[in-house]
Structure 1
Amino acid sequence: MSAADVTQLRTARRRRDAALLTAGLFVAIIAALLPAFSVIAPGPWVAGAAALTAAVLAAGLLVRLAQLPAIVASIVEAAVWIVGLTLLFGRSTALLGVIPTPATFATVPGLLSEASEEIRLGVAPVPPEVGLSFLLVAAVAALALVLDHVVLTARMPLLAGVGLVAVSLIPTIAIPSDVDVAGFVLLAASLLFLLRIDTRARAAGTVPRRPTARTPGRLGVSATAVAVAVVAVIVAVVATPLLPQPGLRFATGGSGGTGTTINPNLELGNDLRQPREVDVLTVRTTAPTAPYLRAVTLSRFDGAVWSPDSADTVPVPGDGAVFSPVETDADIARADWTTDVTVDALDSPWLPVPYPASSVTGLDGEWLGMPQNRTVVTRAGSTRDQQYEVQASVPRPTLEQIRSRSVGDPGLGADVSALPADVPSIIGDTAREVTAGTSTPYDALLAMQTWFRSSEFRYSLDAPVDAGFDGAGLDAVADFLQVRAGYCVHYASAFAVMARSLGMPSRIVVGYLPGTASSIPQQGGTEYTVTSSQLHAWPEVYFQGIGWVPFEPTNSLGVPTNFASGSTSNGGATPSTPEQDAAAPDAQPSTAPSAADRGDVGAVDAGSAATSGRQGAAWVPVGIVLLALLAAALVPSLLRVVWRRRRLAAARAGDAVAAWTALREDAVDLGIPAPGAESPRAFAARLTAEHGVAADDADLLREALERVSYAGDAPDAEQGPTLAAAVDRIRAGLLARATPVRRVLARVLPRSLVVRPGAVDAERERESVG
């Protein structure tokens, strides 16, 4: 062990400090984990992660209390980590339930693959299954193992704090949300506790100078530090909610490589409020009108959140025939359409396809189909730059046929009909009032669609935000029915919930409105361009013998669902006029507003100045975050610069003690021990022999210090510039000999701010005497 090693727990005080550091580190890890609940739903994995983390840290502490080398602590902690994971996830293949076997290790790739699929296809907050739970527990406990070494062996709690803050920021960056005040305060308090205990342990045993106006006592220093910490936490908690909030990363738009994606959470408001729209894909179809392109269906509704369907999947085969045709009654006519899709700026694991797709050809990568809802997803790929062809056989019932059909099917399952017990009365009452006088399910749904699209409602992206109901849960639906202003999410959710309140199975689809025709009709079909502003949500209701039928309740968007009357002959339906496809609410190209038009319907256009202002405002939160990160990274470096300049200013005035202290602090920054038990002569000799310092410079500073310490010489102002120059030359030489990493750390994270020269060995001297 080197003279500067403080990991030997030889006294009761050091053992107590080690225990406090271990406890503080455990609390800090748990605090850093709290923001993750916005991304990963809490569950049994939290208890497993906390238990395994505690076991790893406790094992390391016990090894240190036994005064064994630090490497032994790391080995024991790694063993506890493996045994703990085996106990939690691999008991069936382990000896005695805790000793892993080759079969145990063979299950790890499968668990990681399951975790990858859950992360890829899951929607926040993801309820983790076995695979993702294994990954989370393993990762948290492994983080504890690494940070235990950083805090208790390397004695660098500040570096551990940087890592924990980064971990706590990851969920917020992934899915921006409200500040977790409790988690932030707990993390800040635990990190300050770690720094305080570590600093106290290093400084223990030093002989304090008599407090003066310029050198406050230890109590005053602690009080000042606590006051600064409390003010910093309060400012962060109070100021952060006042800053402009960044939008979700979904559908950010732009042609510079960022692209867009599809948000399956029904949180499309920020997507639609983007100041600039971008072309996401083009469609060429043989159908008479452009189809809606569906990406995700949402059937499960718990009263607060609509969850994407996650049914069994089948690989898309080489010939693309992934789905069989929709089963319909024999008298329902069909139309076969071919749609070619070319994706540009869309980056999503969900593939936009018309409904009901039967085959998808031309895809690059591994893609999976969900037969339950006829959507296509990928575990590892992306829609970007994909070019594919979709064949669809579309049911085309007549008005008489759909009116004669009942809704629902026992094979659909309970998800498409379930509602919580506490549905606000306004929802059911309104549904019954609007549909009063109708005699068939279709007529009831048509009445609701007509009501939503009437002058009683208006399309607005801002009204839900201003009124505080920008969501898709029951409370938001109730508020929407009172305010009667919102965008597609509110119309779709209200329509679907009202349909369920009437006993009709319903679900919501997220995808894209039909695009805008960009070329004249040709033999291969008309080409349509779909933009990011046409991201959309709409409801569907299941009719027996026909399948899922979409409706378009969103006021001012598209054309409402409507079926034409037909005459029956020879046992089949032959429509007398072009009828509505059961798979496309629009009967003609969409009239969806562009990004510039997506304000309140009837509102006055603010012109290009407003758009420019929104573009400028969009950069405000990004700039604030970047400036905050830059400032946080520069704080230690700036403090060290100020501190060193003060030392050198005193040295230029002839203060030999300041010059010598500046030299020792430079050494500590570069990882060179500066123990208090080592005499100035021995320290100068070591710098010369081991670190290539010029003997003349080292002796100059050492002799000046000895004259002041032993002869009582007063500061020599004439010699001051020479002393400061010697300090600068020695520092330059040490930097030149240091590794690049050490040079960067010396400037960015100077250790002398935390590790004071001489403090460690002063404690050692005290312990040896006592």
Structure 2
Amino acid sequence: MSAADVTVLRTPRRRRDATLLTVGLFAAIAAALLPVFSVIAPGAWVAGAVFTTAAVLGAGLVVRVTRLPAVFATVAEIVVGVVLLTAIFGRSSAILGVIPTPATFGTVPGLLAGASDEIRTGVAPVVAQTGLSFLLVAAVAGLAVVLDHVVLTARMPLLAGVGLVAVSLIPTIAIPSDIDIVAFVLLAAALLFLLRVDTRARTAASSRPRAGSPRVVGISATALGVAAVAVIVAVVATPLLPQPGLRFATGGTGGIGTTINPNLELGNDLRQPREVDVLSVRTTAPTAPYLRAVTLSRFDGSVWQPDSSDTVPLPSEGAVFEPVAVDGDITVADYTTTVTVDQLDSPWLPVPYPASTVTGLNGDWLGMPQNRTVVTRAGSTREQVYEVQADVPRPTLEQIRSRSVGGADLDPALTSLPGDVPAVIGDTAREVTAGAQSPYDQLAALQTWFRSSQFRYSLDAPVDSGFDGAGLDAVADFLQVRAGYCVHYASAFAVMARSLGMPARIVIGYLPGTATSSSPEDGSEYTVTSSQLHAWPEVSFEGIGWVPFEPTNSLGVPTNFASGSGSGGSTTPDTPEQDAAAPEDAPSTAPSQAARPDIDAQNGPGVATGARASTSWVAPSLVGAALLVLLIVPSVVRVLRRGRRLTAARAGDAVAAWRALQEEAVDLGIPASGAESPRAFAARLIADHGVDAADVDLLRAAVERVSYAEDAVDPASGPALAEAVERLRSRLRAGVPPTRRLVAALLPRSLVVRPGAVEAERETVGS
């Protein structure tokens, strides 16, 4: 580090640069932390982190502008950080509430232990309590101290950028999700801002600044070009790239596998070109069970949120969940299911419902009593073999018809809907269920309607018609188009049930597998493939619990119950036709990916069979448009830079005019050596490239006067300088092949190679 960098801020320019770097660093830290909200729910810790970070960086800036040695800045930041952490989390044992004592430091291990428990037992997004809040605020404050030293003391903003990018990627690695576009753009802008300010400060420190200095302008133009290309690639081009056949597993043996997306974005998973066996099931139940992994109960009108509630450690043996609470007259059957996981890599464990015990797992697993699901914070389902004991309620048709929906302990969120529900949803629900005598009959009518010939299963119609989602608008469009896959059927069913006042939620898991063997002693065995990833709705009934329904057209078998009187079905009261927790009445032969019906293969109401063909041009067109934009960005940036050079030249800036000529030469592959004097460069242009001697001598004489005589800018000579540059540019372009001119226009070298750099001293091959 040079003496100019260590001697801190003795000029207004340096104080301004330090202030800009501090503000830019604060913005970069904030942008890097935005993706954390997908893992840690926003709360009071956010305000604490923002205030502490601002105070820490502000303390460092104050020290620097007072011309104290840089080491004092770091010391001041640490002191401010400790004082604020004490005031927020340890004021009860501190002197005056802000000065820590040994007792204050003694509380830190307890806070960290509490944070560890919250992380270990919580489900994203975790609601931060005191321990986790302390860890987050302290970590952000420590990050600010380190990055402030890296950026303002060590003058290495690029290294700070690497650290910030790593921080922003941690939440995405922990819970795979889409790129946070807003956070990405903000972080990229903040890092480019830091690089620009730092580079400008270094340029100003190494040479005497001149008015209209082209070097700073060039840096700005290059940064703008880099930013534009990066944003276009990340935001536009990347989502349009072909998706891989399968997702790469993150655990187990590291082979290829699949996972479970808890955000109802199952379309890409179901549209995978290949399918693999994800697990096998052996069960003593008369039918293959649906395997649930995640439930989604909270709906804000656009997104169904995965449930996150209190968890309990999974014991190595014994019951993890309380016995199923059902009325005394409801029969409960006890089934045992053994699951062997193959190519499934997920933190959510597929289990039949309602599970009571889960044994045989490797690693630390947690049970969620609210929905009887099992999750892990540090492991994976990969290669697990486990046994599940399930106590399945088996009501008769009369029993479920006599029950009302709901329950005393249910969360009000299970029936809530936003205030802007499209009218078509409620109107259609009431129309379809008109005449039903009980809540169950209403739900059965909805299920029958969805599975009728009015609807079709399609993986592509939602994409082609632009409603591939689970929000209210997507549900309304689905009810009009009447073609979609399980996500649309499940969401529409749940929203319509809630519009009728019923508590409903969505489950993500797997359809019953395809039967592969059967043994009276060991039960039946089924294989479940990646294409059988599924979503279905559930409704809660008093005295019975959550009852699943199967509205997805052409998949599975609809939920129904036999009469207990012996006149309404072929079964006896204690062996109803349908279990409450498994909407299947026979060993499943659920269709594979290849067998799933598609809207293009059938003709019916909704979307015409040619819909996909009519929109197949959209993706290639968007890719072409993105590539075209990427192609013209360098040209646009070069045109803008040339315009600024000529504007400065017309104002009488001879340096800008000379630099404009040099940049034209670099673009066309003509060497522009930094060791070559203006007089020698001008002579070479005249001798080797046939430019007009009068024009080049005009520019050469002007720049020599500025360089050696330090003449001031002469506005009167400006128009002549600009006109000479234009004529010289035309002559240079005329002297090179057309291909060289095309390359110079599309990929101008001067954006990355400055005149005088080593690269500018070599003539381009083929020029």
What is the TM-score normalised by the length of structure 2? 0.72
- Once residues 538 and 17 of structure 2 are traced to their aligned partners in structure 1, the CA distance between those partners, rounded to angstroms, is 63
Which position in structure 1 is the counterpart of 2:689? none
Deviation, structure 1 residue 493 = 1.5
Which position in structure 1 is the counterpart of 2:765? none
Gaps of 5+ in 2: 603-608, 631-665, 681-752, 759-767
- Once residues 172 and 334 of structure 1 are traced to their aligned partners in structure 2, the CA distance between those partners, rounded to angstroms, is 42
Which position in structure 2 is the counterpart of 1:137? 137
AA partner of residue 515 (structure 2): A
Q: Deviations over 1:206-243 (max 9, x none)?
A: 56699xxxxxx852333333333333333444454431
Q: How does 1:555-566 map to 2 (within 5 A)?
A: 555-566=553-564
Deviation, structure 1 residue 451 = 0.3
Which position in structure 2 is the counterpart of 1:97? 97
The 3-state SS of whatever aligns with 1:389 is strand
**Stretch deviating more after TM superposition (224-233 or 283-292):** 224-233
Q: Among 220, 224, 229, which residue is 1:226 paired with?
A: 220
Deviation, structure 1 residue 507 = 1.7
Change in 2 beyond 3 A, CA 1:264/1:186? closer
Which position in structure 1 is the counterpart of 2:30? 30
Which position in structure 1 is the counterpart of 2:124? 122
Q: CA RMSD for the aligned pairs?
A: 4.3
- Once residues 32 and 597 of structure 1 are traced to their aligned partners in structure 2, the CA distance between those partners, rounded to angstroms, is 44
Q: Among 480, 501, 514, which residue is 1:516 paired with?
A: 514
Which position in structure 1 is the counterpart of 2:15? 15
Which position in structure 1 is the counterpart of 2:259? 261
Deviation, structure 1 residue 514 = 0.8
1:72 aligns with 2:72: yes
AA partner of residue 122 (structure 1): A
Q: How does 1:98-497 map to 2 (within 5 A)?
A: 98-100=98-100, 101-117=104-120, 121-123=123-125, 128-168=128-168, 175-177=176-178, 180=181, 186-204=186-204, 219-245=213-239, 252=247, 257-497=255-495
- Once residues 558 and 253 of structure 1 are traced to their aligned partners in structure 2, the CA distance between those partners, rounded to angstroms, is 29
2:245/2:273 contact within 8 Å kept: no
- Once residues 24 and 203 of structure 1 are traced to their aligned partners in structure 2, the CA distance between those partners, rounded to angstroms, is 19
- Once residues 577 and 7 of structure 2 are traced to their aligned partners in structure 1, the CA distance between those partners, rounded to angstroms, is 82
- Once residues 281 and 360 of structure 2 are traced to their aligned partners in structure 1, the CA distance between those partners, rounded to angstroms, is 14
1:89/1:134 contact within 8 Å kept: yes
1:540 aligns with 2:538: yes
Q: How does 1:493-512 map to 2 (within 5 A)?
A: 493-512=491-510
Q: Deviations over 1:595-616 (max 9, x none)?
A: 3344625628x9xxx9xx9xxx
- Once residues 253 and 587 of structure 1 are traced to their aligned partners in structure 2, the CA distance between those partners, rounded to angstroms, is 35
- Once residues 372 and 165 of structure 1 are traced to their aligned partners in structure 2, the CA distance between those partners, rounded to angstroms, is 37
The 3-state SS of whatever aligns with 1:264 is coil
- Once residues 110 and 247 of structure 1 are traced to their aligned partners in structure 2, the CA distance between those partners, rounded to angstroms, is 44
- Once residues 142 and 63 of structure 1 are traced to their aligned partners in structure 2, the CA distance between those partners, rounded to angstroms, is 18
Change in 2 beyond 3 A, CA 1:582/1:253? farther
Q: Deviations over 1:575-606 (max 9, x none)?
A: 397511111001123343323344625628x9
Which position in structure 1 is the counterpart of 2:661? none
1:296/1:509 contact within 8 Å kept: yes
Q: Among 597, 600, 620, which residue is 2:598 paired with?
A: 600
Deviation, structure 1 residue 153 = 1.1
The 3-state SS of whatever aligns with 2:112 is helix
AA partner of residue 115 (structure 2): L
Deviation, structure 1 residue 294 = 1.3
1:56/1:141 contact within 8 Å kept: yes
- Once residues 30 and 102 of structure 1 are traced to their aligned partners in structure 2, the CA distance between those partners, rounded to angstroms, is 28
AA partner of residue 501 (structure 1): S
Gaps of 5+ in 1: 211-216, 628-642, 658-751, 758-770
Q: Deviations over 1:499-547 (max 9, x none)?
A: 1221222222111111111224352111111112111111111222222
**Stretch deviating more after TM superposition (55-64 or 372-381):** 372-381
- Once residues 486 and 468 of structure 1 are traced to their aligned partners in structure 2, the CA distance between those partners, rounded to angstroms, is 11
1:561/1:585 contact within 8 Å kept: yes
2:394/2:576 contact within 8 Å kept: no
2:342/2:382 contact within 8 Å kept: yes
Deviation, structure 1 residue 653 = 10
The 3-state SS of whatever aligns with 1:61 is helix
Change in 2 beyond 3 A, CA 1:502/1:229? same
Which position in structure 1 is the counterpart of 2:54? 54
- Once residues 542 and 150 of structure 1 are traced to their aligned partners in structure 2, the CA distance between those partners, rounded to angstroms, is 56
Q: Deviations over 1:258-307 (max 9, x none)?
A: 43322222222222222222222111011121111112222222323222
Deviation, structure 1 residue 136 = 3.6
- Once residues 588 and 25 of structure 1 are traced to their aligned partners in structure 2, the CA distance between those partners, rounded to angstroms, is 62
What is the TM-score normalised by the length of structure 1? 0.72
The 3-state SS of whatever aligns with 2:297 is strand
Deviation, structure 1 residue 345 = 2.1
Change in 2 beyond 3 A, CA 1:66/1:283? same
2:514/2:588 contact within 8 Å kept: yes
Change in 2 beyond 3 A, CA 1:325/1:290? same
The 3-state SS of whatever aligns with 1:411 is coil
1:368/1:377 contact within 8 Å kept: yes
- Once residues 108 and 536 of structure 2 are traced to their aligned partners in structure 1, the CA distance between those partners, rounded to angstroms, is 46
Which position in structure 2 is the counterpart of 1:718? none
Deviation, structure 1 residue 170 = 5.3
Change in 2 beyond 3 A, CA 1:57/1:515? same
2:331/2:574 contact within 8 Å kept: no
- Once residues 675 and 17 of structure 2 are traced to their aligned partners in structure 1, the CA distance between those partners, rounded to angstroms, is 40
Change in 2 beyond 3 A, CA 1:401/1:250? farther
AA partner of residue 458 (structure 1): R
Q: Deviations over 1:42-99 (max 9, x none)?
A: 4443332222111111112222334443333223222222322333334345443333
1:17/1:197 contact within 8 Å kept: yes
Q: How does 1:646-657 map to 2 (within 5 A)?
A: none
1:406/1:544 contact within 8 Å kept: yes
- Once residues 496 and 282 of structure 2 are traced to their aligned partners in structure 1, the CA distance between those partners, rounded to angstroms, is 35
1:63/1:73 contact within 8 Å kept: yes
Which position in structure 1 is the counterpart of 2:45? 45
Deviation, structure 1 residue 386 = 1.8
The 3-state SS of whatever aligns with 2:15 is helix
Deviation, structure 1 residue 177 = 3.7
The 3-state SS of whatever aligns with 2:591 is coil
1:252/1:274 contact within 8 Å kept: no
2:74/2:145 contact within 8 Å kept: yes
Percent identity over the alignment is 69
Change in 2 beyond 3 A, CA 1:207/1:140? closer
The 3-state SS of whatever aligns with 1:275 is coil
Deviation, structure 1 residue 349 = 2.5
AA partner of residue 272 (structure 1): L
Number of corresponding residues = 625
- Once residues 146 and 599 of structure 1 are traced to their aligned partners in structure 2, the CA distance between those partners, rounded to angstroms, is 57
1:551/1:585 contact within 8 Å kept: yes
